[in-house]
Structures are given as structure tokens and as C-alpha cells.
Amino acid sequence: MTRWRRRLRLHGSCQDRGGLELFYAGTVLIAFLIIGLVVDGGLALNRMSEADYLAQEATRAGAQQIDPGQAITGEALVVDPDAAQAAARAFLRREGVDGDVAVAEDGQSLTVTVHATYQPYFASLIGVGEVPLTGHGAATLLHRPGG
């Protein structure tokens, strides 16, 4: 037996074979999960921003539906509630999203809430399912005839 083998056998260092490989495998797995969660988080934020954008655009489409009867006579500048809701819902339908549209009693403001979801890529590996997201948009008519 060579001198080095005898020394290794006496110190018992041959029993530690493969321990470092498990550490590296665990580290790589954890790093993969963290990177995946960061990617999923960024994509979910992007989807939420898109939902807000769509809600704001639907609100804008609805707020353009001014009631001509009151605007022409100079009584008030208000939205036509039925036309505003129809225009906002038509926009949401064209974009393929679901949402709620509400017009205030006084006809001066309109709000739209968009309901969307995000299906994570990496987080689904650890059991996270579909994530619900909500976007909001609001418009208020500021100009009034004579004011």
C-alpha cells in the first residue's frame, strides 16, 4: 500500500465522497426556483399593468358618450349611461377581457374594473395555480357648460 492511501485510510476522508455534489445540486435547484419566481412575478406585474391599461381605455371609450340632449341645450355635460356602458363593454369584448362598468348617478364619472388572470410558468411547479388580477380605470367629466 502506498503511503498516501494509508494516510487517507487512517484519516477516514474516503467516507465523504459525493457530499459536495449534493450541495451543488441543491444550490442549483434553489437558484432555479428563485429565478423562476422572479420571472413569474415580473410577468404577473406586466399582466396587471395591461389590465389597468385596458380598464383605462374602456373608461375613455365610455366617457366619450356624451348625452347630446343635455349638452346641446346647455343643461349639463354628462355621459349617456346606456351608451357609455355599451361603448366600454364593447371595447372590453374586442380586447377579450371581462369587466364591470359603472356610471355615477350624476353622469359625471365612469369607472371600469377589469378581471384578468395570470397562469405562472415556474411557480406552477411548486403548486401555485392561476393568479387573479384586477385593473381599474376611472374618468370624471370636468368641463361644464357655462363654467
Q: What is d(CA 4, CA 143) in angstroms, rounded to the nearest whole number?
A: 92
Q: Residue 49: inside a domain, yes or no? A: yes
Does residue 103 fall inside a structural domain?
A: yes
- In this structure, is residue 145 part of a structural domain? no
CB atoms within 10 A of CB 31: 10
Residue 27 lies in a domain: yes
- Residue range 106-126, pLDDT digits in tens: 888 899 999 999 999 888 778
DSSP 8: H
* Parent domain of 136: 17-140
pLDDT for the residue 121: 87
Structural domain includes residue 83: yes
Residue 130 located in a structural domain: yes
Distance CA 63, CA 79 (A): 6
Q: Which range is least confidently modeled, 39-43, 61-65, 66-70, 97-101?
A: 66-70
Question: Does the residue 3 lie in any domain?
Answer: no
Q: If you average pLDDT over residues 92-98, what whole number do you get?
A: 94
Q: What total number of domains does the chain contain?
A: 1
The CA-atom distances, in angstroms, between 62 and each of 24, 39, 45 are 57, 35, 26
φ, ψ for residue 110, nearest 5 deg: -140, 135
Give this prediction's pTM. 0.73
User: Is 10 inside a domain boundary?
Assistant: no
